[in-house]
Each structure stands twice: as structure tokens, then as C-alpha cells.
Amino acid sequence: MSSIVISTVSLSIITALFAVLLTIADRTIGNYGQVTMTINDDKQFTVDGGTSLLSTLNQEKIFIPSACGGKGTCGYCKVQVLEGGGPVLATETPFMTEEELADNVRLSCQCKVKQDIRIQIPEELFNVKEFEAAVESIEDLTDVIKKLRFKLPEGEEINFKPGQYVQLQAPLYDGNDEEVYRAYSIASSPLEKEYIELIIGLVPEGIATTYVHHHLEVGGKVTINGPFGDFYYQDNDREMIMVAVGTGVAPILSLLNYMKSKGINRKATFYFGAKTPSDLFLLDHFEKLEEELPDFKFIPCLSRVGEEDNWDGFKGRVNNAIEQMMEDGENKEAYLCGNEPMIDSVVKSLTEKGMPEELVYFDKF
């Protein structure tokens, strides 16, 4: 019995000593003191060294896109490091092109701040803010897609371009032991600055979508940061071709809501793709927009429809609809949002119709 007690006590002492040694190592070996972080050559911050560049930027309320929570698995948090970043790590190279490596692009979650560092980021990231928003409403659009409306804190507002996205944080919950951020396009108009609307589909075993669909309730609070993205409305007089499938409808909805709010009457056609009638949603809203926007046309397209569905709309994929219904690509531009196969097929159809590829704007997910 005494030997068991002695062994237990000894193990406890060893464990305690190991913890102390780790703490000392963290405060000495990993302590690089205060260093200077220079951003875009005109903004300087005195920061504590030793953490990742992503974490250091977050502490200064400068938010970089990062869907994986800094684990180096998404490749979103790219930053140009001009000085002080150290060598590129093996964990970064799979996400880099040769051009990016030559241009000193790094994954900010993998690059440690150990000395004075000089970086370059897009100026618009200084417009990114973090909000603790309240869930005002949750609406079931289909069995697996929800529309959520969030109210920002009193006196705060978000400034974004129609088509951009925010990151929503999924916190720890039963069955999930890590905090992650996931990107979702904003569906509301940018003129409604005190609110954010998102359309989120359930992904099997998805950390964030499971949180939204099974744990989030009206009245709850969420952490959101943004806006991000270079997919957004272009202000000109070209005819607009809009294409989306599933939750990709969100940024298209934001564009149309913006056009309605601003009284913009550009000619626009929206091809909304789905498999079956039960996969379509917001039909009444888009049909109402046809009345409110004089040059807007809504074309829902179904790829898997049977006679029992009594569907008298277009039968086929969205790229088939474009091939059959769009005359040519002259003086037109396109806005596409959806999965990669859809985007690739529609880009092919549009360019074959004569639309310049540089006028095809898209957001793949």
C-alpha cells in the first residue's frame, strides 16, 4: 500500500515539476520581448513577440481571413511579409504558388513574430471589425438551409460591398472541442448597416453549420468579423448575368437588395439552379423583385425534375439555360456563386458566348 502512495506522490511531483519547467520555458525561450510591427510602411504597433502573426494582428483588432482557426489547414490567411518573418516553413508551401513565394507571401498563422517585422496587407482589411451580434431571427428556407438575421450592438455598424462575406465563429459546444471561423456571404443590403443576414446550409459533420442548425437559438449571441472578399458589385451600365446554386444565392440576394434600395435599374437576369422543387427557396421574394426592378428577370432551373413535379420552368442545369437563353456576351458581365463544377461550367458557357473572362466575377465554395 505504501509503495502505491509513494509512487502516486512521486508521479504528482514529477508532473508538477514538468509543468513548472514548461512555464519557465514559455516565459524565457519563447519570450522575445516587445517588437515593432510595421504595416504598409505607415502604421506601427509595439507588440509582444512569440506568437503567430495572425494572433498578433488579431490582438491589434486587425482581422485576416482564417477559416481553420490558425491551424494551417485552410490557406486563407496570406500576408506579404517584407522583413522579419524568418524562413518559409514546410507547413506553408503546399498553399503557395511560385509567384507568391517569390513575392514573400506567408501564412500568417504559421509565421511567428520573433523580431521587428514589416508586412503589407490590403488597406480594406483596416475596415474589418469584430462584432458580438444578437440572433434576431432564424427562418427555415428548406430542410437543410436556414436564413439568419443578426443585430449588431447598439451604435455599431458594418460597411461592406454587396457580394462580400463575413466570418462567423463556431464556439465550443457538445461534440466540438475547437473554436473555428467559417466564411458566409452576406445576403442583406449594405445600406442596412446595423444588421447582417446570412444563408447557411447544413453540411454533414460541419463544425460551424452543425452549431448554427442545432445549437444556435433566437436571442443568442455570436461573434462575427468582416467584411472580406473581392467579389462584389461593379458600378457600371453593363447588363448583369447572375448565377447561383444553393446557398450561393446569398451574395446575389445582397446585390439585388442593394439595387432595389438604390433604385438601380440595370438589366439583370438571375439563373437560380437546384435539383428538385423542394431545393428552391425565396421564390416569392425574387418574383416580387421582378415587379420592383423593371429590367430584372428571374429564371429558376431544375436539373432533376420528374413529371410528378408538375414543373413548367426550365429543366436542366444553369449552364444549359445560359447556352439556350442568352444570345451573346456583348456588353455584359457575370456574377457567379456556388460550387466549383458549376462555376467552371458556367464560365465556359459564358466565354463561348463571347463574354470576356475578366468580366466574369465569381465566388467558389
Dump pLDDT digits (tens) for 68-122. Answer: 767 888 888 999 999 999 999 999 999 999 999 999 999 999 999 999 999 999 9
Q: How many CB atoms lie within 10 A of CB 162?
A: 26
Q: Is the pLDDT of residue 4 over 80?
A: no
pLDDT band at 19 (very low <50, low <70, confident <90, very high): very low
Check residue 281 and give its pLDDT.
97
Q: Is the pLDDT of residue 23 over 50?
A: no
Q: Is the pLDDT of residue 24 over 80?
A: no
pLDDT in tens, 219-274: 999 999 999 999 999 999 999 999 999 999 999 999 999 999 999 999 999 999 99
DSSP state at residue 173: B
- Cβ neighbours for 273, distance < 8 A, ≥ 6 positions apart: 243, 244, 245, 300, 301, 302, 303, 317, 318, 338, 342
Average pLDDT over residues 203-214: 94
Q: What's the alpha-carbon Rg for the chain, to the nearest Å? A: 25
Check residue 66 and give its pLDDT.
86
pLDDT in tens, 160-184: 999 999 999 999 999 898 888 899 9
pLDDT band at 137 (very low <50, low <70, confident <90, very high): very high
More confident residue, 281 or 7: 281
Check residue 14 and give its pLDDT.
60
Average pLDDT over residues 211-226: 97
Q: Which domains are delineated in the chain?
A: 34-123 (3.10.20.30), 128-228 (2.40.30.10), 239-364 (3.40.50.80)
Sign of CA dihedral 312, 318, 319, 325: positive
Q: Is the pLDDT of residue 211 over 70?
A: yes
Conformation bin of residue 282: beta by default, left when phi > 0, alpha when psi is -120 to 50: left
Spatial separation of the C-alpha atoms in residues 58 and 69, rounded to whole Å: 11
pLDDT band at 67 (very low <50, low <70, confident <90, very high): confident
pLDDT band at 9 (very low <50, low <70, confident <90, very high): very low
Quote the percentage of the chain above a pLDDT of 90: 82
Average pLDDT over residues 17-32: 51
Spatial separation of the C-alpha atoms in residues 100 and 77, rounded to whole Å: 13
Spatial separation of the C-alpha atoms in residues 281 and 298, rounded to whole Å: 13
Identify the helix (H) or strand (E) that includes residue 350: helix 340-352
pLDDT band at 32 (very low <50, low <70, confident <90, very high): confident
Check residue 191 and give its pLDDT.
96
Q: Is the pLDDT of residue 314 over 70?
A: yes
Asked if 350 and 271 touch (Cβ cutoff 8 Å), the reply is: no
Check residue 179 and give its pLDDT.
84
pLDDT band at 321 (very low <50, low <70, confident <90, very high): very high
Q: Is the pLDDT of residue 28 over 70?
A: no
* Dihedral pair phi/psi, residue 62, rounded to 5°: -115, 110
> Chain-wide mean pLDDT for the chain?
91
